[in-house]
Structure 1
Amino acid sequence: MFRRSSQDAPADAPLIELDASARPEAEAKKGRPTPKRSEAEASRRGRAYVPQDRKEAAKAARDERSAARERQRLALLRGDEAGLPARDRGPVRRFARDYIDSRFTAAEWFLPLAVIVLVLNVLPNPSLKDISLLIWLIMIVLIVLHSVLLSMGLRKQLAQRFPEKNTKGTVAYALMRSLQMRRLRLPKPQVKRGQKS
């Protein structure tokens, strides 16, 4: 009823034919065959796996965190620079670790001496309690003096070796490392005692 018949069109109307280059973008050839539906779905599934429920998503996140912690732990044990946490990474921090690890420090004896002091303090003999107090006082004074000397030496070395690098926080990092017993330090010491750093 409302259709236009071919008889209504003028007889001399020209036919317009478009080149391939003049086609709009939507009609332009894409240069590859259309993938099958099964291939497209497999590709989409491979790109982004979104868990269906909250429990599955939480389990996947937990597994990922656990794997990251394990990689970091192994890097700390091996001293692998690429896997270390950000606070331990870089040549400045490595130098600070080597500087502390190559020396005997008074602070690393803090824990064993603290245990001895506690044991002596528990005993009922008053003279042993006085000895434990004296040991405690000597230990604290030695740790403070040695830490001051270590920090002065480390600051001087950092200024000489890394004049253009940011060394903020490195001395505190090194002093915290010196408080730990050598065997328990992480990342593991890479130099022997007495070795030049």
Structure 2
Amino acid sequence: MAKTTPSTPTPAEPTAEESAVGKGRPTPTRREKEEARKRPLVSNDRAEARRRARAQAQEQRDKARIGLANGDEKYLPMRDRGPQKKFVRDYVDARFSFGELLIPLMFLVIILTFFPQPEVQYIAIIALWAFFILAAADAILLGFLVRRRLAAKFGADRVEKVRWYAAMRALQLRMMRLPKPQVKRGQYPV
């Protein structure tokens, strides 16, 4: 005998008439059960479904954008993943690079080329090329420094190819870098 708890009511015994009649309806066929379970792939209200899909996609894009900006490893592209790339990003962000000033200097040269005096234009172009050579030399030096620091930290045989990665990050304006800089200037990684 099974004990019943006070909170669950005991089922009433079916009367002779109810047991003869059964459940009062025919057993549903397999086809009827499957039809009842079917749901449309696209809802009847397509406009609402489209709005929901757009909102969900926008939410995912926002989450990915914020994750990328914060340097969350899950949202980074493959070229930016890994501890060595993080070390390079932090090292480049901690130092001042001449390449950071290249874009503002180019805008200045463009403005100076509108001056009618050819001497001003020549000086501006020569200064731009000199600064470009200085930025390239700084990027090459940065590549050697980063490679040496990575070899000291991770081992000389395990160093990835990161010179180009470091140079391209150093040539960008600090405020336009993605992922955003996680360290302040002078705060070199250990």
Contact 1:108–1:181 (8 Å) recurs in 2: yes
Which position in structure 2 is the counterpart of 1:16?
none
In structure 2, distance between residues paired with 1:62 and 1:176: 34
Task: Describe the SS at the equivalent of 2:126.
Answer: helix
Tell me the distance in 1 between the aligned counterparts of 2:137 and 2:54: 45
RMSD: 2.9
Larger radius of gyration: 1
Superposed displacement of residue 64, structure 1: 5.8
Q: Take 2:117 and 2:125, find their aligned partners in 1: how far apart are those partners? A: 13
Q: SS of the counterpart of 1:190?
A: coil
Tell me what 2:139 maps to: 147
Counterparts of 1:101-112 in structure 2, within 5 Å, are 101-112=93-104
Structure 1 residue 155, shift from structure 2 partner? 1.1
* 8 Å contact from structure 1 (residues 110, 139) kept in 2: yes
Superposed counterparts of 1:38-187, under 5 Å: 41=37, 50-51=41-42, 66-163=58-155, 165=158, 167-168=160-161, 170-187=162-179
Q: How far is the alpha carbon of 1:161 from its aligned partner? A: 1.6
Distance 1:166 1:141, change over 3 A: closer
Instruction: Quote the Cα distance in structure 1 between the aligned partners of 2:169 and 2:53.
Output: 32
| 1:196 partner SS | coil
In the TM superposition, residue 70 of structure 1 has moved relative to its aligned partner by: 1.9
Q: Which amino acid aligns with 1:156?
A: R
SS of aligned partner of 2:113 = helix
Call closer, same or farther: CA 1:159–1:166 in 2, change over 3 Å: closer
- Answer yes or no: is the 8 Å Cα contact 2:113–2:124 preserved in 1: yes
How many residues align? The count is 152
What letter is aligned with 1:147?
A
Greater displacement, 71-80 / 185-194: 71-80
129-138 or 146-155, which deviates more: 129-138
Q: Runs of 5+ in structure 2 lacking a partner?
A: 1-32
Superposition deviation, residue 68 in structure 1: 3.6
Distance of aligned partners of 1:86 and 1:51 in 2 relative to their CA distance in 1, 3 Å threshold? farther
Partners of 1:158 and 1:64 lie apart in 2 by: 41
Displacement of 1:171 in angstroms is 2.0
* 2:133 maps to amino acid: V
Offset at 1:62?
6.2
User: In terms of mean alpha carbon deviation, does 86-95 or 112-121 score higher?
Assistant: 86-95
**What letter is aligned with 1:182?**
R
Identical columns (%)? 39
